[in-house]
Amino acid sequence: MARSPLVSTDPRDWMRRTRLLLVVLLAILLVVAGRLIWVQALEGPQLASDARDNRTRTYAIQAQRGEILDANGEVLATSVQTYNLGVNQQLITSYEARDEDGEVVGTGISAAAERIAPILDVDPAELGALMVGDSTFAYIARDISPAQWRQIRELGIIGIEPEAAVDRLYPNGNTGGNVVGFVGRDGVGLAGLELSYEEVLSGTDGSTTVEIGRDGQVIPGATREDVPAVQGRDVQTTIDRNLQYECQRIIDEAVERHGAAWGAVVVEEIGTGRILALCDNNTVDPGNYQDSAPEDRGSRAVTTPYMPGSTGKIPTFAMALDAGGVEVDDEWLTPDRITMPNGQEFRDNDSHDPVTLTTAGVLARSYNTGLVQIGDTVPIDVRYDYLQRFGLGQRTGIELPGESSGILAPYESWDERQNYTSMFGQGLALTLLQSTSTAATIGNGGVRMDPHVVEAVEEVDGTMTPTPLLDGQRVVSEESAADTLAMMEGAVSEEGTAQLAAVEGYRVAGKTGTAQVPDENGPLSGRVGTFIGVIPADAPEVAIGVVMYNADGASYGSRVAAPVFSDVAEVAMSHLGVPPSTEPAPYLPLEPGVEWGPQ
């Protein structure tokens, strides 16, 4: 049979085909080897990293927030361990609920929800709806207690996982809420010291990273990385919790009784600037801050300036004694109306016959017509300098957010009338904190101390570092301050305007104030009543300021603010253990030849 011409019997053809086949096989092997080298040597690390990322999960470990304490170490804000509850929605479907005999009595999501719901006190159907999906971690409950988590863990339900969290607690309700502030749902400070000391209190969150299997379960013995959380540090305040509670109660009752728009009280320790109580009516409860109107979540004593009225006369009297050559027994003819050299006319609140009063008498009876004569002894630029030294028109630096500097325009911008109205607390605005500081300066022998609410801050090593007590600024001489304080006692005497500020057993020095304020429609139809005072006047311990804004009726400071001072001062003296006064009040003439003495 003849062979096909396509099939060669030449050995050389066979060898050529063999070599070609070997070349092709070798090329294939080289391509495969090259690919392996590329995958393992070049892409390998990245692929391994991607695979590891796909099977790892990182859980945040929330740092426990530092505590906020009162002056005596009592807790005002603290944190407790809680848990957020999550579910692996893919894994939970394979759950089998068994009875005591090991028999399957339910499966999947519905069975899991039926067992967990009673512990969380929720509806099983609503809980089950949260478990439906394909996520490997979805939240089904937040801020559950450790006891609740232990109960759930004992159920042994596959796919239920905890996430450690921290809950913020305020054990005293709204006591000091305006100072402490509050945190948001994310645990970050939103107001008060929680906001201004966020960096100190918050600490640094940690984390736990684990490897998980295909069904979302943690792989035993696999890579695990723990980064511990750094706990926040404590902040101790100057606030006395018990005094704060009583102070808030008193101002709440006064605001309700007089129908005021709002009221506030400040209690400052003389000589240190420590704020022992900072009280606003209707104070926010930090644990339920959403229930309070935004305007009630801070401290109006710090953020809201107002015209002080006659309490603003105190700096004028002090500077006149200090720089104007005025003496406490100088005599001033005080009609109920007076026209000053620049043509501006001023009058007193009530009509009266012309009367000659001493400097002390002008303060005791709060006559504007006498005050403008006394203030005129001090040049305008010198008066402005004194007002600044008293702290007017500038923030005190208190450690709370939103502090107002008040309003004190440069004297160059004052018109002919403001030149005088600034002497008796109009044409400028103060916060209650600034006004109280003015009284504290007089009680401290003429030296102004910066008010503060933070006593100490915890360091990283756990020690508490006290707030440095800075040197005060001398505003007036010690003699001028003592004379001013003595004249302020006259205002609380039976001859003065502030008889309702008296405290049985204690000498009180103070001053009332009343100024017109706009109503909600704009006209000046309302009043702000104020009182600032020092107790005991013979050995000053605290300065107390009171403001009652837009109360019903006449709402003079003598009627609505002075009694609040008396109530708060009585509580403060008892709480601080200050003994009653033993020295008699000074005898100062209010009218020529007419003296006042102890009540």
> Per-residue DSSP letters for 287-321?
GGGGGS-GGGSS-HHHH--B--GGGGHHHHHHHHH
More confident residue, 165 or 108: 108
Q: Which candidate, 183, 304, 188, 299, places its Cα nearest to that of 239?
A: 299
* pLDDT given for residue 206 in this prediction: 78
Pull the structure tokens for residue 250.
């008193």
Give the model's pLDDT for residue 20: 75
Task: Give residue 227's identity as a one-letter amino acid code.
Answer: V
What angle (nearest 5°) sits at the alpha carbon of residue 387, between those of residues 386 and 389?
60
Mean pLDDT, to the nearest integer, of 70-98? 90
pLDDT at residue 153 in the model: 87
State the Cα–Cα distance between residues 448 and 271, nearest whole angstrom.
8
Helix, strand, coil percent content, the chain, rounded in steps of 5: 35, 25, 40
Compute the average pLDDT of residues 334-360. Answer: 93
Report the candidate in 493, 559, 570 with the shortest Cα–Cα distance to residue 531: 559
What is the rounded distance in angstroms from the CA atom of residue 375 to the CA atom of residue 363?
Answer: 12
536: preceding bond cis by omega (within 30 degrees): yes
pLDDT score, position 510 = 97
Q: What is the pLDDT of residues 78-88, one digit of tens each?
A: 988 888 899 99
Nearest 5 degrees, angle CA 199-CA 184-CA 457? 30
pLDDT in tens, 316-326: 999 999 998 99
CA distance 434 to 301: 9
Evaluate if residue 469 carries a pLDDT over 80. Answer: yes
Out of 38-52, 175-189, 268-282, pick the least confident. 38-52
Residue of 196, 292, 299, 310 with catalytic role: 310
Can you give the pTM of this predicted structure?
0.83
Closest CA to 166 of 143, 199, 135: 143
Can you say whether the dihedral through the CA atoms of 285, 286, 291, 295 is positive or negative? positive
Mean pLDDT of 473-477: 97
HSE-CB of 499 using CA atoms within 13 angstroms: 7
Query: Rounded mean pLDDT of 125-138?
Result: 90
Question: How much is the average pLDDT of 16-23?
Answer: 73
Distance CA 535, CA 575 (A): 13
Q: pLDDT class for 598, splitting at 50, 70, 90?
A: very low
pLDDT for 597 equals 47
Task: For residue 310, give the amino acid letter.
Answer: S
* Residues pairing with 189 in the sheet: 183
Question: What does the pLDDT average to over 496-519?
Answer: 91
SS3 257: helix
pLDDT in tens, 511-562: 999 998 766 666 666 899 999 999 999 999 999 999 999 999 888 999 999 9
Cα distances from 76 to residues 63, 446, 454, in angstroms, run: 19, 34, 13
Question: What does each C-alpha distance from 169 to 172, 174, 180, 225 come to in angstroms?
Answer: 9, 12, 11, 31
Tokens of 298: 């801070």
Domains and CATH numbers, the chain: 241-596 (3.40.710.10)
What is the structure's pLDDT at 449?
Answer: 97
Pairwise CA distance, residues 163 & 85, whole Å: 6
**What does the block give as tokens for 185?**
């749902």
In angstroms, the CA 275 to CA 453 distance is 5
Residue 222: how many other CB atoms lie within 10 Å: 13
Virtual torsion, Cα 363, 364, 368, 373, nearest 10 deg: -40
Average pLDDT, the chain: 89
Extract the tokens encoding 511.
Answer: 């001053």
Top mean pLDDT of 32-36, 113-117, 224-228 is at 113-117
Task: Please tell me the predicted confidence (pLDDT) of residue 528.
Answer: 95
**The pLDDT of residue 10 is above 70:** no
Q: How does pLDDT run across 132-182, given as a tens digit for each residue?
A: 998 888 999 988 888 898 899 888 898 898 887 778 999 999 999 999 999
For residue 599, what pLDDT is reported?
36
Average pLDDT over residues 39-66: 65
**500-538 exposure pattern, b = at least 16 Cβ within 10 A, e = fewer:** bbbbeebbbbbbbbbbebeeeeeeeebbbbbbbbbbbbb
**102: which 2 tokens?**
């090991």
Of 206, 194, 238, 210, residue with least CA distance to 79: 194
d(CA 494, CA 597): 9
- In this prediction, residue 22 has a pLDDT band, given cuts at 50, 70 and 90, of confident
Q: What is the pLDDT confidence band of residue 53, given thresholds at 50, 70 and 90?
A: low
- Element containing residue 473 per DSSP (H, E): strand 473-474
**Spatial contact of 194 and 68, defined as CB atoms under 8 Å apart:** yes
Q: What does the alpha-carbon distance between residue 500 and residue 490 come to, in Å, rounded to a whole number?
A: 13
Q: Residue 521 has what pLDDT?
A: 65
**Number of alpha carbons in the 13 Å side-chain half-sphere of residue 520:** 1
CA gap 199, 190 in Å, rounded: 12
Q: Are 268 and 274 in contact (CB under 8 A)?
A: yes
**Percentage, residues of the chain above pLDDT 70:** 88
310 is catalytic: yes
The pLDDT tens digits for 198-246 are: 999 998 877 777 666 655 556 666 667 777 878 899 999 999 999 999 9
Range with lowest mean pLDDT among 38-47, 86-95, 287-296, 440-449? 38-47
Query: What gap in Å lies between CA 84 and CA 162, rounded to an integer?
Result: 6
Task: Give yes or no for residue 46 having a pLDDT over 70.
Answer: no
User: Position of tokens 């040597």?
Assistant: 41
Given a contact cutoff of 8 angstroms between Cβ atoms, the answer to whether 184 and 39 are in contact is no
For the chain, what is the radius of gyration of the CA atoms? 38
